[in-house]
Amino acid sequence: MLTFTALGPFQAWAGGAPLDLGGQRQRAVLARLLVAGGRAVPVNTLIDELWAGGPPAQALSTIQGYVSRLRRALEPDRAPREEAGVLVSAPPGYALRAATEQVDAWHFESLVKSDGAPAQMWAAMDTALGLWRGPALAEFSELSWAATEAGRLEELRLIAVERRADAGLALGRARSLVADLEAHASAYPLREEAWRLLAVALYRMGRQGDALAALRRARAVWRDELGLDLSASLQRLEGDMLAQRLEEPRAAEAPATSSAGSAGSADVLRVLVADDQALVRAGLRAMFAAEPGVTLAAEASNGEEAIAAVGESRPDVVLLDIQMPRLDGLAAARRILAGERPPKVVMMTTFGSDENLYAALRAGVSGFLLKTAAPEQFLAAIRAAAAGDALIDPALTTRLISAFAGRSDPASPPALAGLSDALLDVLKLVARGLTNRQIAQTLALPEEEVSLMVKSLLEHLALFDRAQLVMAAYECGLVTPGEKAHFSSL
C-alpha cells in the first residue's frame, strides 16, 4: 500500500520501501498537496508558495515536470495514457488523493480530534503519538506554508499528550503518568493544562505536598515570564487541594496495552544503548539499574548491531551514539526509524555541533543529548521521548533549521545535491569497498533494493560503473581515506 509520512522526515512509501521523490523543490510540491488535505491547490498558488523570493520565468513548466516525475514515482505501473489516481489533475491545479490512514498527518489529526470513553481516548491518543518520528515538515521550514502547518501539527501533538494523560487519570493510572507529565510541564511551562494534569496526578498518588509545589512552580514561571498569577482554574484547583475537596483517587484498572513505538508497559521503559565505548555503555547500564521504571533492553557497539538489536529486543527507546565504526549513528537511526512501528531514538554525541544536530533532526530522531549531560537529563530525555514530547528547545531547533534551510544535508557536497539521506548512506558504503550483499547486511535491506539504489546513484550522478562512484564520493569529500579502516573487517 502507498503511504505518506510528514510527522518526521517527509517520505512516500510503497510496500514499506521508501520512494525516490526527487530533489527538495519537487518533494515540496507533494508536501504542499499533502498539507492541503486532499483539496485542490491551484498551480499559481504552488508557484507563489514554492518560490517565495520570486518564481523563475519557466515556473509553470517546471511544476508540470515535477508533477510528471512524482506521478511516475507514486504509480510506476500506470500506463502512459492512463489517468493518474494519486496525484491528480484538479483544475486549476492538482490534488493528492489518499485515504486518511495512508497519510500519517491526516490519520494523526483524525485520532486527536476523536472522542469517546476514557479507555477509547487512551488508545486513540497512544496510537496518535506513536505516529510521530520527529519535527513535522522540518525540511521545508523555510517555506511559510510548511512552517504554519508544522506549528498547527505540533499544537495538536501537545493536545494529544494532554488528552492521553487526562484519560489515564480517569482510568486510575496516575502513578505511571507522573514522570511523563513532569517532562511535559518542564518542556512547556506556559501550558495551563500541563500543570493541572501534573498537580492532579501527584495529588491522586497521595503526594499533596508535591502537587501544591508543582502549582507553586507554575506560579513562579508565569510571574517571571508573563507577569501574571495563575489562571482562575489553577487557583481553584490549588484551593481545592488545600481544603482537600478533590475527589479521591479511583482504583487503578489493568494497564492498557501500549501501541508499538510507545512505552512497552505502563511502568517500565525498555532502552537499547548503542555506543562503541564500553565505558559509556557501562555507565548507562549502572544508571538504569538504579532507576525504577527504566531497564536496559539490549546493548550494541556499532550501528549495524543496533539495527539488529532493535529487531530482536523491540525497545521503547534507543540511545544511539552519533559516531560509531562500521555504520554511523545517523545511518543506523534512519534504518531503525524506517521500520514498521519503530522505537523512539535519542541521539548521543560528544560534540554538539550545529551540523550534527541538524542532521539528527533530519533523520527523524526524538532528541539530542551530550554525553556530558547529567543522569537526570538522560532519564528525563528517555521518558519524554517515550511520551512523544520534544527534547530540543524549540528556539534552537528553529535557528538550526533556518540556518541550513534549502540544504539536503549540511555535510553533503554540492555535487551530491538532491540525493536522499538513504542514497548517501549507500554511496558511503560503496566508497568504503562494500559489496551490495555487505551493504544489504549492514543496513538491513533486501539485496535487490540495494542494487536498485546503486543504479539510481549511477543515473543521478551520470556515471557508468561502481569505481566511478567510489571516486566521486572521495573527490566530493563525502568519505575520507581514514574512514575505510572502520570497514576492514568486512
481 or 420: whose pLDDT is higher?
420
pTM of the model: 0.57
How high is the pLDDT of residue 248?
A: 54
What is the C-alpha to C-alpha distance for residues 400 and 447, in angstroms, rounded to an integer?
36
Is pLDDT at 254 greater than 50 in this prediction? no
Outline where DSSP puts E strands in 178-253: none
What integer pLDDT is reported at residue 394 of this predicted model? 43
The percent of residues in the chain predicted with pLDDT above 90, rounded, is 42
Same structural domain, 421 and 394: no
pLDDT for 490 beyond 70: no
Q: Is pLDDT of 250 > 60?
A: no
In a domain? residue 109: no
Question: Are 142 and 164 within one domain?
Answer: yes
Give the residue from 355, 383, 403 where a domain finishes: 403
State the Rg of the chain over Cα.
24
- Domain match, 20 and 94 both: yes
Total domains, the chain: 4
* 248 occurs within a structural domain: no
Q: What is the pLDDT of residue 107?
A: 96
Give residue 215's pLDDT.
Answer: 94
Residues 370 and 451 occupy one common structural domain: no
* Same domain flag for 273 and 315: yes
More confident residue, 364 or 136: 136
pLDDT tier at 262 (50, 70, 90 boundaries)? very low
Q: How far apart are CA 302 and CA 426, in angstroms?
A: 17
Mean pLDDT of the chain: 83
Which residues is 90 bridged to in the sheet? 93
Q: What are the tens digits of pLDDT across the range 281-322? A: 888 998 888 888 889 999 999 888 999 899 888 999 999 998
Identify the residue with better confidence: 133 or 257.
133
Q: Residue type at 197?
A: L
- 259 in any annotated domain: no
Q: Do 425 and 386 sit in the same domain of this protein? A: no
Same domain (yes/no): 377, 427: no
Q: Is 50 exceeded by the pLDDT of residue 458?
A: yes
Mean pLDDT of 248-261: 42
Q: What is the pLDDT of residue 88?
A: 94
Q: What is the CATH number of the domain that holds 156?
A: 1.25.40.10
Amino acid 94: pLDDT:
95
What are the contacts of 224-230 at 24+ separation with CB within 8 A?
A: 225/189, 225/190, 226/190
Residue in the structure block whose three cell numbers are 570497514: 487
Per-residue model confidence as pLDDT tens digits over 152-207: 999 999 999 999 999 999 998 998 899 999 999 999 999 999 999 999 999 998 88
Residue 260 lies in a domain: no
Q: Are residues 97 and 28 in the same domain?
A: yes
Those residues with Cβ within 8 angstroms of residue 320's Cβ, 6 or more apart along the chain or in another chain:
274, 275, 303, 306, 329, 332, 333, 336, 345, 346, 347, 348, 365
More confident: 344 or 252: 344
Residue 302 CA to residue 312 CA, distance in Å, equals: 15
Closest by alpha carbon to 401, among 118, 142, 103? 142
- Per-residue pLDDT of 345-398, as tens digits, reads 988 887 655 566 666 766 777 777 888 877 877 888 888 788 765 555 444 444
CATH of the domain at 30: 1.10.10.10
DSSP lists the bridge partners of residue 344 as: 317
Q: Quick one: pLDDT band at residue 264, thresholds 50, 70, 90?
A: very low
Residues 127-140 have a mean pLDDT of: 91
Q: Looking at the structure, do residues 203 and 83 belong to the same domain, yes or no?
A: no
Distance from C-alpha of 287 to C-alpha of 98, rounded to nearest angstrom? 46
Tell me what pLDDT residue 341 has.
81
| Top-confidence residue, 41 or 441 | 41
14, part of any domain: yes
Domain residues for 441?
Answer: 414-487
Euclidean distance between CA atoms 249 and 241, whole angstroms:
13
The answer to whether residue 407 scores a pLDDT higher than 60 is: no
pLDDT at 263 over 50: no
Q: What is the dihedral of CA 72, 74, 76, 82, to 10 degrees?
A: -70
pLDDT digits (tens, 9 = 90+) for 22-77: 999 999 999 999 999 999 999 999 999 998 778 888 999 999 999 999 999 999 99
Q: Flag whether 110 is in a domain.
A: no
State the CATH number of the domain containing residue 286. Answer: 3.40.50.2300
Whether residue 337 is found in the same domain as residue 373:
yes
Statement to judge: residues 85 and 201 lie in one domain = no
Instruction: Kindly state whether residue 254 falls inside one of the protein's structural domains.
Output: no
DSSP E strands in 82-238: the ranges are 87-90, 93-96
Residue 295 forms part of a structural domain: yes
Count of CB atoms situated within 10 Å of the CB of 109: 18
In the predicted model, is pLDDT for residue 19 greater than 90? yes
**Does residue 405 carry a pLDDT above 80?**
no
Instruction: Please identify, among 59, 88, 104, the residue that sits at the C-terminal boundary of a domain.
Output: 104
- pLDDT value of position 251: 41
Last residue of a domain, one of 357, 378, 403: 403
Q: What is the pLDDT of residue 484?
A: 40
Q: Count Cβ atoms below 10 Å from residue 376 Cβ, excluding itself.
A: 10
Q: Please, which pLDDT band fits residue 429 given cuts at 50, 70 and 90?
A: confident
Q: Which of 79-88, 210-219, 294-303, 321-330 has the lowest mean pLDDT?
A: 321-330
- Residue recorded with cell 497512544: 126
Verify that 361 and 320 share a domain, yes or no: yes
